[in-house]
Amino acid sequence: MGFQTVYREKVDYINQGLAFLLSQRESHPTILDAIRYSLQAGGKRLRPILFLSAYELALGDCSKAQPPTLKQDPILSMSCAIEMIHTYSLIHDDLPAMDNDDYRRGKLTNHKVYGEATAILAGDGLLNLAYEVMLESLPADPNKQFGYLKAMKVIAHSAGISGMIGGQSADIENQGVNSDESMLSFIHTHKTEALITGALKAGVLACREDKEVLEAVSGYGKAFGLAFQITDDILDLMGDLNQLGKAPGSDERKGKLTYPAKYGLKKSQIMASQYIEEAVSLLQPFGSKSEFLISLAESILVRNR
Ligand code: GRG
């Protein structure tokens, strides 16, 4: 099967999982609607796909790694929980108090449709739901429980103040400030790369604690995450409104510290390619088992959304 087909299958699996997990919730209809609106707006599902692929790599046999049924499955719940955390961060990032954006994933942002108060609650609700669905799915087997809890800890750490939230805080403080390269690196490693690497490490830990795989995916995640953020900065500068699903040029308007602003377009493109080369080289020793993750890394350089 080609890369695109496998990618599409994983997206479908995650989308079905998200719909299934949401269908099991009882709540006030407005908050459920607002959550569904952003969660099902068609993101790339990159972080849960990285989680699933790292799980498969650790398992070493991809054919066993596709849970075919939608039930309380720990791997399905954890992959969906990662997407819930990511979607909450996007909803909050778009708020007037943060980036004040009108469009996301090709649709009006959550607060534009439901108002600020509900958008804040939708983000809070998703963050809580993420941990609720993971804990609901805690494996009964004590041997599997330990790895699963370790994976949860990695996710909490990478999405929290030592990861994504820390990066977001620095990002906000440095808007309109000509900070140095170390600050640019701090922002992007924390805001973007942390959750990407966290998803990969969680995938390995949820399967089995294999030191070699863990080290390899950690290095891959760091390089992948930085290349992903550089291409995000480049797309914000030169991307197409319809493909991006949001207006380009917003970083420049807000005076954001970005790779193209700091290093120029050409050097930023070269840096993204170098990071992807590094990511690929770290997984090559795993042969055909890492084929999908290698193709995924390569696809980052040619992405248009
Ligand atoms: C508000 C706690 C908090 C954090 C916000 C993720 C984030 C931190 C901000 C979003 C803005 C942004 C451009 C961040 C860089 C990370 C990034 C590229 C997010 C977009 O991820 P994609 O491209 O989005 O995977 P989709 O819609 O495909 O899921």
Question: Is pLDDT of 233 > 80?
Answer: yes
Cα(170) to ligand 1 centroid in Å equals 15
Out of 191, 246, 254, mutate this one to test ligand 1's pocket (max ligand atoms within 8 Å of CB): namely 191
Which pLDDT does position 64 carry in this prediction? Answer: 46
Stated pTM of the model: 0.95
Which ligand 1 atom sits nearest the alpha carbon of residue 98? 1
Does residue 41 contact residue 106 with C-beta atoms inside 8 Å? yes
Contacts of residue 129, Cβ cutoff 8 Å, sequence gap at least 6:
21, 25, 35, 81, 84
Distance in angstroms (rounded) separating the CA atoms of residues 53 and 138: 20
**Whole-number pLDDT of residue 71:** 60
If pLDDT is split at 50, 70 and 90, which confidence band does 69 have? low
Residue nearest to atom 24 of ligand 1 (CA): 43
Q: How confident is the model at residue 63 (pLDDT cuts 50, 70, 90)?
A: very low
Give helix 116-136 / helix 142-159 axis angle, nearest 10°.
160
Boundaries of every domain in the chain: 3-302
CATH 3.40.50.11270 fits domain 3-302? no
Q: Is residue 256 in contact with ligand 1, taking CB distance under 6 Å?
A: no
Q: Per residue in 93-151, pLDDT tens?
A: 999 999 999 999 889 999 999 999 999 999 999 999 999 999 999 998 888 899 999 99
pLDDT at 296 over 50: yes
202/47 Cα distance (integer angstroms):
11
CA distance 163 to 171: 12
pLDDT (0 to 100) of residue 61: 59
Q: What is the pLDDT of residues 249-264, one digit of tens each?
A: 888 888 888 999 999 9
For ligand 1, what atom is nearest to the CA of residue 42? 27
Of 84-88, 141-145, 243-247, 248-252, which has the strongest mean pLDDT? 84-88
Percentage of residues in the chain having pLDDT higher than 90: 82
For residue 60, the CA-to-ligand 1 centroid distance in Å is 30
Predicted confidence band of residue 68 (pLDDT cuts 50, 70, 90): very low
Expressed in angstroms and rounded, the spacing between residue 104 Cα and the centre of ligand 1 is 10
Q: Is the pLDDT of residue 72 over 80?
A: no
Distance 232 CA to ligand 1 centre (A): 9
212-220 average pLDDT score: 98
Q: Is the pLDDT of residue 205 over 60?
A: yes
Question: Comparing C-alpha atoms, which of 56, 76, 81 is closest to residue 292?
Answer: 56
pLDDT at 70: 53
**CB of 164 shorter than 6 A to ligand 1:** yes
Q: Ligand 1 pocket, 168 CB below 6 A?
A: yes
Q: What is the pLDDT of residues 4-60, one digit of tens each?
A: 999 999 999 999 999 999 999 999 999 999 999 999 998 999 999 999 999 999 998
Ligand 1 centroid to 139 CA: how many Å?
30
